[in-house]
Amino acid sequence: MHTSALVMFSGGQDSTTCLALALSKYDRVETLGFDYGQRHSVELQARHTVRQQLAAQFPQWAPKLGEDHVLQLDVLQQIGGSSLTEDVAFAMQADGLPNTFVPGRNLLFLTVAGALAYRRGLQVIVTGVCETDFSGYPDCRDDTMKAMQLALNLGLAQRLRIETPLMWIDKAQTWQMAQDLGGQALVDLVVRDTHTCYAGTRDALHDWGYGCGSCPACELRAKGWERWRAMAG
């Protein structure tokens, strides 16, 4: 029986929805974030606000929300070459991936998450990766997650489970999941307190949240919001 989870938590819409789901399912939930010199380090501040607000507004979840861990992974910045960690414009690469792709990022994140889960005695790793309407990042694929779960369990001699609740749903359905888990209060929290924008902009509050409105992350979030509002009528 799995009763405890470590949520890969960046402070964005997806990982906040995953955190809410984990709090609704498991008795003990800890969160893990990474500081890897990302341009949107405002995400790291959003993490604190989201955790605080979840505990304040959802008393049934508050006692389950355990420690927060933030680990430094500046090795990704040392390798460089991504528009997420360097001041270069968003563009497509010759191999068809956007230059926001940070090679090996999720592989590294999951390896570190597995090590931390081992130390903390946590049984499930929850991550908001998604194949459906994402940028085609190969380290977000279901097969990659299954292979990582196998590698971690072999290498750590554990029975960890990597859970990916958003893998097969789109952004509109992610908004719906927030609604199902915590009603309007959770939707409002996601809009107001989470951060997704790659540019790190929080100047203007749109219906779907704060952001520049034009980077790939904002576009995806805004489109998902509009589709969801259209579905909800």
In the complex, which residues of this chain contact Zn ion (CB under 5 A)?
A: 197, 199, 211-212, 215, 218
Report how far residue 23's alpha carbon sits from residue 149's, in angstroms, rounded to the nearest whole number.
Answer: 22
Q: Which is nearer to Zn ion, 153 or 201 (CB)?
A: 201
Q: Which is nearer to Zn ion, 142 or 219 (CB)?
A: 219
Token duo for residue 65: 């929300």
CB 193 within 8 A of CB 50: yes
Nearest distance from residue 134's CB to Zn ion, in Å?
16
Q: Which is nearer to Zn ion, 126 or 218 (CB)?
A: 218
Nearest distance from residue 166's CB to Zn ion, in Å?
20
In angstroms and rounded to an integer, the radius of gyration of the C-alpha atoms of the chain is 17
Provide the CA 94 distance to its chain's centre, in angstroms.
Answer: 27
Nearest distance from residue 227's CB to Zn ion, in Å?
18
Q: Which is nearer to Zn ion, 187 or 199 (CB)?
A: 199
Instruction: Please give the DSSP secondary-structure letter assigned to residue 68.
Output: E
To which residue do tokens 């990916």 refer? 164
Q: Which is nearer to Zn ion, 39 or 64 (CB)?
A: 39
Report how far residue 164's alpha carbon sits from residue 162's, in angstroms, rounded to the nearest whole number.
Answer: 7
**CB-based contacts of 213: which residues, under 8 Å, 6+ apart?**
204, 206, 219, 222
Q: Which is nearer to Zn ion, 112 or 199 (CB)?
A: 199
Nearest distance from residue 203's CB to Zn ion, in Å?
10
Nearest distance from residue 196's CB to Zn ion, in Å?
7
CA angle 185, 39, 55 (to 5 degrees): 25
Q: Which is nearer to Zn ion, 99 or 179 (CB)?
A: 99
CA nearest to 131, candidates 14, 9, 12, 7: 14
Report how far residue 120's alpha carbon sits from residue 183's, in angstroms, rounded to the nearest whole number.
Answer: 31
Nearest distance from residue 45's CB to Zn ion, in Å?
16
Nearest distance from residue 152's CB to Zn ion, in Å?
33
Instruction: Please give the DSSP secondary-structure letter assigned to residue 33.
Output: E
